[in-house]
Amino acid sequence: MEKLHWFFQRWNQGAFNYLHILPFHPFTSDDGFSVVTYREVDELYGTWEDIESLGAKHKLAFDLVINHGSVSSPWFRGFLENREPYNQWYISREPYYDYSAVVRPRTHPLLTPFTRKDRSTVYVWTTFSTDQVDYDFSNPQVLFEFIKILLEYIQRGARIIRLDAIAYLWKEDGSSCLHHPKTHGVVKLLCAIIDLLQLDVLLLTETNVPHRENISYFGEGDESHMVYNFALPPLVLHAAISHDTNPLQS
C-alpha cells in the first residue's frame, strides 16, 4: 500500500479523483475475487491502517464481492460442518437439478459436490468457479451480514462501493437467475441505506451485459448511482490515447 500511495502521489497529480483498490482480503483464487474473510487485509498488501491512510488523502473505491466467497472461508467450513448460522448461508440442490434455464457466465457445471463433516455429499451452487460458492440471499442473515460489511467498508474510507457480479445474486428455480427483480431489490435497499444515512458514497453495479440490461440497474433513479461493465476501461484508455471520445460516448 505504501508503494501505491507513493505512485499515486508521484504520477496522478490531480488527474483522477478516485483510487480503485482491487480486492485486498485473504483469497484463494481469481485474483482476489474468491474472498476468505472480508474483515482482514491480506498481509501481502498491508493493513487496514494502510488503507485508511490512503483514504485520508484520496477517495477510494472498494469491491464488495457479494455474490460468492471462497470454499476455504470459515463461513463455508461452518456450512460443511452443519454449524449455525452458516448451515443456511449457501445454496444447494440435488445432483439431478435441472439448471438449463439458468444463464451461465462459465462452462463448468453449476453445481459442485462437497463432502460434509458427516461424510455426506452436498451439491453447492458455484456460478463462477468450483472455488467460489454462492451465498443464499433469500436468508435475511446473509443480507444483514453484507449490509454490515458495506458499512464497515465506508468506515474504512470507501467512497465508491463496486458490487461485483451483482446480476447473478438472487436465485429462483425455473428462472434465468439473471437480473432477478429481487436482485434489483437488494441494490435498491443498499442505495436507500446510503441515502438515508446521507453518506458521501456512490454505489456502482458491475454487470457485464449488453447496454440496455446494464443501465437497468439505475432503476427509476432509486437504484445504483453508477453502472459498469467490462467495455468501459478499454474505451477510456482508447479515448485517452487517441484523443477521440466518440466511441466512449456512443
| Residues belonging to the active site | 164
Helices (H), 1-47: 2-11
Neighbours of 66 (CB within 10 A): 27
Beta strand spans in the chain (E): 18-21, 59-65, 68-70, 92-93, 111-115, 121-125, 132-134, 158-164, 202-206, 226-228
Residues 189-196: contacts with CB under 8 Å, at least 24 apart: 189/143, 189/147, 190/147, 190/150, 190/161, 190/163, 191/222, 191/223, 191/224, 191/225, 192/222, 193/147, 193/150, 193/151
User: What's the CA dihedral at 232, 234, 239, 241 to 10 degrees?
Assistant: 160
Burial of 193 (0-12, 13-18, 19+ CB in 10 A): middle
Residues 6+ apart with CB under 8 A from 172: 180, 182
